[in-house]
Amino acid sequence: MATVTKKITITSTDLLSQSLNLSVSKSVTASATTGLARQAITSTAKGTASGQVTLYTSGEFTSPNYLFIKNTDTTETDYISVYADTSSDDPDLLYIPGGGFAILPLTGGVTLKAYATTTGTIVEFMVFGTEA
């Protein structure tokens, strides 16, 4: 088993009337991982299975799991859209602009897929599970 530390820091001197300085970290014990992957997304629309990238498959690990996802594109307007493929309406859950990233806690019962605004966008991702 491995220890994984997630950390986020948010700072700003001009967003609020006071300076903002938030820093949160949490270590978890991970017993399983998909490994770090980089794949090109060639689908620019939801519902086009060919060219979409599956980020996490329902039931791959027992909950809780964590997904790291990064849009490696350098153009901010080149988004990656992540959606829940196991819901009847396949809702979009988040948009990640070029250069952006996210770390999300996941339940074990959802399949997540990605499509992009620009074909060939490279997505970098990894899931680590706290229980295999």
Compute the average pLDDT of residues 101-128: 92
Give DSSP secondary structure letters for 72-84.
Answer: --S-TT--EEEEE
What's the structural domain count of the chain?
Answer: 1
Look up residue 91 and give its DSSP letter.
-
Peptide bond into 105 cis (omega under 30): no
pLDDT one-digit tens code per residue, 57-98: 988 888 788 999 999 999 999 999 999 987 677 888 999 999
Which residue range(s) make up the domain with 43?
28-131
Closest CA to 123 of 115, 111, 131: 115
CB atoms within 10 A of CB 52: 22
Question: Looking at the domain assignment, is residue 8 inside a domain?
Answer: no
Does the pTM of the predicted model rise above 0.85?
Answer: yes
Question: Looking at the domain assignment, is residue 12 inside a domain?
Answer: no
Question: Looking at the domain assignment, is residue 5 inside a domain?
Answer: no
Question: Looking at the domain assignment, is residue 123 inside a domain?
Answer: yes
Question: Looking at the domain assignment, is residue 85 inside a domain?
Answer: yes
Question: Looking at the domain assignment, is residue 126 inside a domain?
Answer: yes
Question: Looking at the domain assignment, is residue 124 inside a domain?
Answer: yes
Question: Looking at the domain assignment, is residue 7 inside a domain?
Answer: no
Dihedral sign from CA coordinates of 10, 15, 18, 19: positive
Per DSSP, the three-state class of 132 is coil
CATH number at residue 120: 2.60.120.770
Look up residue 57 and give its DSSP letter.
-
Compute the average pLDDT of residues 90-107: 92
